[in-house]
Copies of this chain bind each other. A is one copy, B any other.
Amino acid sequence: MLRIHGIPRSRAFRCIWAAEEAGLPYEVVPIGFAPGFKLERAVAINPNNKIPALEDGDLVLFESLAINLHIAKKAGAPLMPAGDDASRVLQWTLWTATEAEPHVMRWSYNAYLKPEAERVAAEAAAGKEALDARLAVLEKELAQRPFLVGEGFTIADLNLASVLYGSWMNGYDYGPFPKVKAWLDACLTRPAALRARRQREG
């Protein structure tokens, strides 16, 4: 039994979705946020005191995208492909962490997450400009194949789509990137994604 520490309205959502795609049994230990994005209590098993964290028997992991790679590896192909495609999955997962997440979070905090009085329009604009530049790269990639790696959905798609999910839900303009939008729509309406989203969106 996978134990996912966190709440669906946090990055733990990503891991809940991965567990749903993998078809592995899991439970959620609901550690969440007090106002101001502070954890309401310590995540005792995670030295970083952040959510999510995963317990899988004796193994304890932090970093949501790494947790998802672990879950996908347990499930095997097609969620985690073999050979060179496994390296491409790692590439896109690192790209998600370095090229997508910082910019989408900069936009998100200043477009909808923070209390309205604390939002800075120039910060939202800077995040959007940087993210748009990355989405232009992604648009060209998705013109060549329907998913990030090979012909089918993998954990690479899940990792990137789950990082973009909040922006997709909250009015980010994906109009200039039709292939990205179609890919996001497809990923985020998969049956497993819908099961995870129901826990979050209520």
Report which A residues bind B (CB closer than 8 A). 47-48, 58-59, 61-63, 65-67, 69-70, 73, 84, 86-88, 90-91, 93-95, 97-99, 101-102, 137, 140-141
Q: From the candidates B63, B67, B86, B141, name the one contacting A98 in the complex (CB within 8 A).
A: B63
- Chain B residues contacting A93 (CB-CB under 8 Å) are 66, 94
Q: From the candidates B61, B86, B91, B102, name the one contacting A87 in the complex (CB within 8 A).
A: B61
**Is A97 touching B99 in the complex (CB atoms < 8 A)?**
no
- Chain B residues contacting A48 (CB-CB under 8 Å) are 95, 99, 137
The copy count of this chain in the complex is 2
Q: How far is the CA of A90 from the CA of B109 in the complex (A)?
A: 27
**Is A90 touching B70 in the complex (CB atoms < 8 A)?**
yes
- Chain B residues contacting A59 (CB-CB under 8 Å) are 84, 87-88
- Given A47-B137, A102-B102, A137-B47, A69–B90 Cβ distance below 8 Å? yes
Q: Is chain A's binding surface mostly helix, strand, loop or mixed?
A: helix
Q: How far is the CA of A199 from the CA of B101 in the complex (A)?
A: 33
**Is A73 touching B47 in the complex (CB atoms < 8 A)?**
no
Most buried by B among A86, A87, A137: A87
- Given A97-B98, A98-B97, A98-B101, A66–B90 Cβ distance below 8 Å? yes
Q: From the candidates B63, B87, B97, B102, name the one contacting A69 in the complex (CB within 8 A).
A: B87
**Is B91 touching A63 in the complex (CB atoms < 8 A)?**
yes
What 8 A-B pairs have minimum CB-CB distances, sorted nearest first?
A63-B94, A70-B87, A66-B91, A66-B90, A66-B94, A97-B97, A59-B84, A63-B91
**Is B99 touching A87 in the complex (CB atoms < 8 A)?**
no
**Is A94 touching B65 in the complex (CB atoms < 8 A)?**
yes
Q: How far is the CA of A12 from the CA of B155 in the complex (A)?
A: 26
- Chain B residues contacting A73 (CB-CB under 8 Å) are 86-87
- Given A87-B69, A87-B73, A102-B102, A95–B62 Cβ distance below 8 Å? yes
- Chain B residues contacting A101 (CB-CB under 8 Å) are 98
